[in-house]
Amino acid sequence: MGPSFDLTGKVVVVTGGSRGLGLAMASAFAEHGADLVIASRKGDACAAVAADLRQRFGRRALGVPFHAGNWADCSRLLDTTWAELGRLDVLVNNAGMSPLYPSLTGISEELWDKVIGVNLKGPFRLAALAAERMAREGSGSIINVSSVGAMQPTVGELPYAMAKAALHAMTAGMSHAYGGRVRVNVIMPGAFLTDISKAWPAEMRSEMERQVPMGRCGEPEEIVGAALYLASDASSYTSGAVIKIDGGWAYRAG
């Protein structure tokens, strides 16, 4: 990739960065010169990923335990980032969850609060705090990771889909709030073969693949190009955008 994709000297925080799409993005950022903060619920997993990135790419990398639904953790994560690495250039709001439930009326208040907390409340707070600091320092990029469920929700993931749809509204609003100082965008992935996909029933995967024009689910590394674009100066005139990465999976807007 050309020099506009170079991330040397930049500090990137990736929530949910210890596995799946978050790990693929974090590895690509480090390969292109960035220093990383890997944040997720499991501190040991974060520390292991950070150590691997340091060894493979010679970049500074820090693992920080982090609960995406906890507002206090949002402040602590950013304070730790600035204290240890001195700045923040890119925030990737990638952490998410979508637990199973028996029916719409069977959704408990506890499940609802947990899903909205991790997928919307926490990302909003983290983005707001990060954007405020980034704006004071003159620039920054926030990448919110959504889902095609935001545009094509199904009954089995409705609270999750609702939270992800709200991320789109949040992104549009924040892109206006911070103008050209902080760019705020969405990556909207379809079905990807992360570690979570190993639990999918065979018929579920087959049904997904039948709906995808490319005839297959994505590999985690296929998210990397869009992430590098939005994190780097290559996207200097891109803000408030939603980039759909789903193999052409059709959806009905509205």
Give the model confidence (pLDDT) of 35-87 as tens digits: 999 999 999 999 999 999 999 999 999 999 999 999 999 999 999 999 999 99
Could you state, in order of their start, the residue ranges of all structural domains in the chain?
3-245
pLDDT digit string (tens) for 148-160?
888 888 888 899 9
Q: State residue 252's pLDDT score.
A: 43
Name the CATH code of domain 3-245 (choices 3.30.428.10, 3.20.130.10, 2.60.40.420, 3.40.50.720): 3.40.50.720
Active site amino acids: 160
Sign, CA dihedral 199-201-206-208, equals negative
Query: Quick one: the chain helix, strand, coil %, rounded to 5?
Result: 50, 15, 35
pLDDT digit string (tens) for 101-145?
999 999 999 999 999 999 999 999 999 999 999 999 999 999 999
Q: What is the distance between the alpha carbons of residues 87 and 119, in angstroms, rounded to a whole number?
A: 25
CB 32 within 8 A of CB 59: no
Collapsing DSSP to helix, strand or coil, 127 comes out as helix
Rounded alpha-carbon distances, angstroms, from residue 108 to 32, 100, 113, 162? 43, 11, 9, 16
CB 44 within 8 A of CB 19: no
CB 144 within 8 A of CB 189: no
Band of residue 247 on the pLDDT scale cut at 50, 70, 90: confident
Candidates 139, 125, 154; CA nearest to 90 is 139
Task: Supply the DSSP symbol for 217.
Answer: P
Candidates 6, 13, 67; CA nearest to 36 is 13
